[in-house]
Structure 1
Amino acid sequence: MTTLIGDPGLRYPLAVLNLDAVRHNLAEMDRHLRDHAALIAPHAKTTMLKEVLTLQTEPASTWGLTVADAVQGRLAEKVGVSRILLANQLVERDDIAWAARAARAGRTVISLVDTEEGVRRLDAALGDIGAASPRHPVLLEVGYAGGRGGTRTREDADAVAAAVAGSRHLVLSGVSGYEGMLGGDATPADIERVDAYLTGVVAVAARLAGRGALAGPILSAGGSAFFDRVIDICREPVAALGATLLLRSGCYAVHDHGLYARTFPGSRSADGPDLRPGATVWARVQSRPEPGRAIVAVGKRHLPYDAGPPVPLGIRYRDGVPGPLPAGAGTARLSDQHLHLDVPPDSDLTVGDVLPFGVSHPCGLFDRWRSVSIVDDEGRLVGTGRPDF
C-alpha cells in the first residue's frame, strides 16, 4: 500500500525532498545554461545526498561537482565525476593529500588560492607528498573588503599569481569569485554592488590572461541567487578570452520558500530558470496553550533559521486528510525542539494535526538530518536518502 506524506501513522518530524521538483529544477537550469553558453559544477554541500548529486551530474551543462573539502570530495568520487572544483584554499594536509591522490587516480581536481603563504603551503605540501605531474591547477580567488576568502587588491592578486608562477607543483588555471554575500535583498543597489564586483573579477582575469599567466582558463563564480548577473557580466568577456564560464550554484536543485524565493532571477523578473521549492519539513502540533498560539514539535535542531524563519505552507493534515491552514498563520519564533506558531484565535488547528513548512536556505537543512524522506509530486513516499556529512 502506498504511503502518502501527511499520513498520521508516520513518525514526525520528517525532512522531505520532492525528487520530481529536483528533476524539474535541474532540467530548467540545464536549459538556461545551454542557452547562455555557461557550464556548472553544482556545489555538493547543499544536500550531500548521492541521489541528488547523481542527478546533478547528468545534464549536458554539468562540468563536474564543486566541494568545500576532502570529506565532500570523497562523496563526489563515489558519485563518479571526473572533475572536481574544491572551492577553498587548501590548508588542511588531509585535503591536500586527497586532492593529490584523486589526481593520481585520473581525476581533475582544481582548488583556489588567495594568499602568497597559501600558495607556499600548498606547493610545499604537494612536494612532501610526492605529487606527480601534471601540476595541480588552481584558480586565483578575487574577494572584496568585508567578504570571505579572496584577494583584496590588484597588488595582492598580482603577488599571488606571481607566487603560483614561481611554484614547483602548481599552475594558474583561471580566476574565481563569489558574489552571493553582496546581493543582500536584491535591491537595485544590491545588484549594482554585485555587478561592480563581477566586473572587477573579469578585469583580473583579463589582465592575467593578457600576460599569458593563465593556462586553459576558467572563470568561476555564481551562487544560486545572482547567477544571472554572473552570466550577463561575464559571458562575453570570458568568451573573448577563450575561457570557460563555470557556475558553482548548489541550492538551485532544491530551491526554497525563503531566501532564494526572494532573490533568485525569477523573483526579480530577470532572465532565469523556472524553479520550484523541493524541500520541506513536516511536524505535528504538540500543544494549543493559547487561543492565538500553537506549539509544533520541530525546532532549531531540525530547521535552518540563519536566513529567515520556516514558512507554514497554508495546509494542515488531520487524520491524513488535507485542509486549509487559516490565513495569518506564521512562525513567531523557534526554540531548540519547538516552533511557536501564531494562528488566528478562532482557528480549529488542534493537537495532532500535521503541518508542512517551507525552509529558507536549504544549505542549513540537510546536515541536521540522518535521513530524508523522498517523495514524488503526488506526495507518495518513494525512498529514503541519507545525507553523507
Structure 2
Amino acid sequence: MTPVFPADEYDRRLAALRATLKAQELDAVVVHTPENICYLSGHATPGYYTYQCLVVTAGGDVAVLTRQTETVNARATTHLERIVGFADSADPVQATADLLAELAPGATAVGLETRSWFLPPESYGRLSGLLESAGARVRPIDAALAAARLVKSPAEIEQIRAAARSTDAGMLAAAEAAVPGASERTVAAAAFQGMIASGSEYFGMEPFVASGPRAGTIHASWSDRVIGENEPVLLEMSATVGRYNAPLMHTVWTGELTGEAAEMAVACAAARDAALAHVVPGGSPAEAHAACRAAIAEAGLAHTYRKRSGYSVGIGFAPDWGEGHLLSLGETEEKRFARDMVVHVVPTLRIEGMAGIGLSATVLITEDGHEVLTSCPVGPGR
C-alpha cells in the first residue's frame, strides 16, 4: 500500500490549512474526522472506529496519533515522518494533549472540530479542558476544513473518475441481473462483484437493492425477495477508489410499469434533468432543488418527494459516501456551484409500500457547464 497522491499534493493542502491557521491566529489544529485526516495526510484505515487524530501546527509540524497497531497503516498511507502510537491501555485524549504540547509548546489558541462524530462530547470536553488548563483557547475549525475539501484538485478528479468507472461496472452488472425470478440478494452480489473486480476498495456505504413495494422505503437494501414481473427495481451504489466516491442511483424494470409507478418514472427523469440545468458554475444549489421539486409537482407527485435533491461527493468512509455537510441541493443552501466541484444529483420518488423510482447522476462542474460521470446503459425499461 502506498499513498494515493504524491507528497506535493498533500503539501499543498497542508500549506493552505496553515495559511488559514495564521489568518485565524491559531497555533495548531487537531483533526478527528476520518475524511479530513485522509484529505490532509492520506491516512486511511478501516480502524477509524477507534481514536485517531491529526495534529497540524502553524509552524509546520504535522503528526498522526493513532493506536500502536494502526501505525503500520499510517506509515503505508502517508508521507509523514511523525507517526505516534498509543497503547490500547493508554488514554488517547491525554496523549493528544501531550503531543500538542510537544509540537506547539506554549500554544495559546487551538482549533478543534465541534461537529465531528469521532470526537464525542466526553472526549471533546476532556481535550478542551486539558488544552485550556495549559493556556490555550479552543476554537472551532469545522468551516475551514469543509471549505478546503469542496473544490476538487485535478488529482482528486482522477480518483473520482476511476470510482465512477467502477460504479458504472457494478451498476451494469446489477441491472443485468435484476430480472423477474432473481432475488435481490443475487442482484446485490452482482453489484459487489462488478465494483470490486473493476477496482473498488471497501465502500463508504453498501449498495442498495429494493424491488417492488420495498423500493418505497428509503435506504432499503437487499433481501431474499424475488423480483416479479412489471415492477421497478431501485439500485443505488458507489464504488470507492483512493477513498473517493461517485454514486449512481438507477431504476430498471422488465415489462411495463403502470399507474403511479409509471408516472413517477417519467417525473423522476424530468426532475433530474431540471436540476442538472442549474448545476453550472455560479449556479444555485437551492434553485436546482427548487427546479427538481417543481418538475415533480407539475406531474402531480409532490407527495412522493420528501428530501434534498443532491449533495457534494468526494472522500468517504462508512457510514456515508457523500459530503452533504459540505454542500447540499436543498432550500437552505447558500453556497454556489463552482468549477471542479463534484455533486450527486439524485431525485427519488417513493410511495411507502408501493414503489420507488430513482434516477441520478454524479457530475463534475466544468468551466461552462457540467460533465456527467456516472451512467447505466441498461434500462430503465428493458
TM superposition score category, shorter chain reference: 0.3 to 0.5
Query: Comparing both structures, which one devotes a greater share of its residues to helix?
Result: 2
Q: Which has the higher contact order (CA 8 A, sep 6+)?
A: 1
| TM-score, with length taken from structure 2 | 0.33
| TM-score, with length taken from structure 1 | 0.32
